[in-house]
Amino acid sequence: MENYLKTYVEYRKKIKAYGYFVWLMSWDQETEAPDASVEYRTKQYQVLAEEFYKIESAPEYLEAVDYLFAHLDEIDDKDLKVEIKQAEKALRMVKKVPKDELLEYQVLTSQASHVWSKAKNENNFSMYQPTLEKIFVFNRKLVKYLETDELKGYDILLDMFEEGFTQKEYNLFFNTLKEKLVPFVKEVTAKKDKFSRKLTKGVFPREKQKQFSEYLIDVFAYDRTRGLLKESAHPFTSGVTSTDTRITTHYYENNLTSSIFSSIHEMGHALYEIQNDPKYDDTFLHGGTSLGIHESQSRMYENMFGRSKAFWTVHYPKLQEIFNKELKGITLDEFVAFVNKSERSLIRVEADELTYALHIMIRYEIEKELIDGKLKVKDLPKRWNKLYYDYLGIRPKTDKEGVLQDIHWSGGAIGYFPTYALGSAYAAQIYQAMNKDLNIEEALLNNNIKAINAWTKEHIHKFASSKTPKEILMIATKEAFNPMYYVDYLKNKYQR
């Protein structure tokens, strides 16, 4: 036992160190590495990735994990128990899937995003179809390899991204949305709001947007000694430890609010990892417990705090001070209405809060049908367009603004989309629980986001991934997942 534990800890240390290199390289690549450097960097990466793989798949390490997993009851440390369980689960793929099939699939997905990107640019689904078919063929085989008494089919994939959430939970969730939200969305989006041309057609200088994002860092108490804000093509959060979790944003001069809300969104993600208990830094438990819980934090900070009238009551004067010319004459109420407007659209990443989950619901149904074999990849565009018409009342004119819009499937991420919608729904439930302990509106009006951060730390963040999403929800809200909080939140917000 002692020897296995020692081996485990030794390997964990090395795996974390190589993981650190991969993290840093990718951060550099996404934010500033010069264009011509890609070839050299890829070569160095390949050499170290090979060393990394040797360590991760060392028989000595696999044996240690197996032994410890078989003797979990002899381990007292609760966190270590959780960690061993997760390590064993993560290694299942390596052990159960034939190595050549796995390698073939890795090559396939590493090349698929190029194929996808080209097909999207040329609005040509049939170019992408053969690749996508292979990806789904593999995933249908994969779920067979990983099948257990408890989990089968699409559930295996769903559970990989959000532990404990399978079709049972998601069907309940999406059926609720279908029943309560679909008619409501049609009603709300039938009327179109009008806003000042200053907001819709203005030019908002980059440097001023930057200044406001820097101001937001202090407002949200995103610790500058543990993170930083930089620019990249698409905003993201990239963390490696509670002492180093960085974010990016992107400034569009024709869009004032994009950088504001992406900065807040990413700070929500970053606060989660910065507020992880530092005792997890050297373990595999550092980080968020799931994509859904992670997204609940980013969306709660962005939408529920960041788009609230209380928030802008305090911070709109600062925004107007910086954009003194650009926002002249725009009232607080008009600005708040503008950042909370709703509109049906075809593109998921441009969707507003109200309609976002419906975009996800469409992808969920399609993934389910593809994995079950009820839908063929070649029939995908037709099915996609029909669902958009059924749920959102609009129909893509091209596959580019339809089934070709997302990169995810090309990377093999099937079962991932549903966590996005779950995040927003979790957020609504968590908000209500928090509001019982703490008057959120008052905290926002007092510019006391530290009090909010203290709550999220205590009830969610500090646990890192030592608890499952269901456990976190129970700790934070004292009840199981209930999608009605989300429906109520949206209805309450968008009711006119």
- Residues known to be catalytic: 266
What are φ and ψ of residue 138, in 5° steps? -60, -45
Q: What is the CA angle 294-297-302, rounded to 5?
A: 130
What are φ and ψ of residue 244, in 5° steps? -155, 90
Q: Which of 110, 121, 200, 243 binds its own copies (CB under 8 A)?
A: 243
- Which among 129-137, 183-191, 224-232, 340-348 is the span making contact with its own copies, rule CB under 8 A? 224-232
User: Angle, to 10 degrees, between the axis of helix 167-190 and the axis of helix 417-437?
Assistant: 80
Q: Which of 1, 9, 13, 63 binds its own copies (CB under 8 A)?
A: 13
Tokens of 364: 């969920």
Q: How far is the CB of 20 from its own copies (least distance, A)?
A: 4
Asked if 53 touches its own copies (CB under 8 A), the answer is no
Asked if 329 touches its own copies (CB under 8 A), the answer is no
Report which of 12, 159, 74 is spatially closest to residue 468, judged by C-alpha positions.
159
Site for its own copies in 244-283 (CB under 8 A): 244, 246, 281-282
Residue among 13 and 378 whose Cβ is closer to its own copies: 13
Asked if 240 touches its own copies (CB under 8 A), the answer is yes
β-strand 237-241 against 244-249: which pairing, if any?
antiparallel
Q: Which of 144, 168, 224, 234 binds its own copies (CB under 8 A)?
A: 224
Distance from the Cα of residue 188 to its chain's centroid? 27
Residue among 11 and 420 whose Cβ is closer to its own copies: 11
Based on its alpha-carbon atoms, the radius of gyration of the chain, rounded to whole angstroms, reads 23
- Which among 218-226, 319-327, 421-429, 481-489 is the span making contact with its own copies, rule CB under 8 A? 218-226
- Which among 9-17, 170-178, 343-351, 430-438 is the span making contact with its own copies, rule CB under 8 A? 9-17
User: Angle, to 10 degrees, between the axis of helix 484-494 and the axis of helix 353-372?
Assistant: 140
Residue among 40 and 197 whose Cβ is closer to its own copies: 40
Asked if 59 touches its own copies (CB under 8 A), the answer is no
What are φ and ψ of residue 246, in 5° steps? -105, 155
Q: How far apart are CA 46 and CA 394, in angstroms?
A: 45
What are φ and ψ of residue 337, in 5° steps? -60, -40
Asked if 42 touches its own copies (CB under 8 A), the answer is no
CB distance 486 to 429 below 8 Å: yes
Asked if 233 touches its own copies (CB under 8 A), the answer is no
* Residues in binding contact with its own copies, number by CB under 8 A: 40
Asked if 28 touches its own copies (CB under 8 A), the answer is yes
Q: What is the CA angle 60-85-16, rounded to 5?
A: 60
Tokens of 282: 């050297």
Q: Which of 6, 44, 101, 407 binds its own copies (CB under 8 A)?
A: 44
Distance from the Cα of residue 342 to its chain's centroid? 22
Q: Which of 6, 9, 51, 179 binds its own copies (CB under 8 A)?
A: 51
User: Using CB under 8 A as the criterion, which residues of the chain lie in contact with its own copies when the complex forms?
Assistant: 13-14, 16-18, 20-21, 24-25, 27-28, 32-37, 39-41, 43-44, 47-48, 51, 207, 223-228, 230, 240-241, 243-244, 246, 281-282
